[in-house]
Chains A and B, each alone.
Chain A
Amino acid sequence: AQSVTQLGSHVSVSEGALVLLRCNYSSSVPPYLFWYVQYPNQGLQLLLKYTSAATLVKGINGFEAEFKKSETSFHLTKPSAHMSDAAEYFCAVTPFSGGYNKLIFGAGTRLAVHP
Chain B
Amino acid sequence: NAGVMQNPRHLVRRRGQEARLRCSPMKGHSHVYWYRQLPEEGLKFMVYLQKENIIDESGMPKERFSAEFPKEGPSILRIQQVVRGDSAAYFCASSPGSGSSYNEQFFGPGTRLTVL
Chain A residues within 8 Å of B, Cβ to Cβ: 32, 36, 41-46, 49, 51, 90, 96-108
Contact = CB atoms under 8 A, between A and B. Distances in A.
Interface of B: 4, 31, 33, 35, 41-45, 48, 55-56, 59, 91, 95, 97, 101-105, 107-110, 112
Contacts of B44: 105
Contacts of A98: 101
Contact of A32 (B33, B55, B59, B102): B102
Contact of B104 (A49, A90, A97, A108): A49
Contacts of B101: 96-98
15 contacts: A36-B107, A43-B91, A44-B107, A46-B104, A51-B102, A97-B101, A98-B101, A99-B103, A100-B97, A102-B33, A102-B59, A103-B35, A103-B43, A105-B43, A107-B41
B43 A44 contact: yes
B110 A43 contact: yes
Contacts of B42: 90, 105-108
Contacts of A104: 45
A8 to B, nearest CB: 14
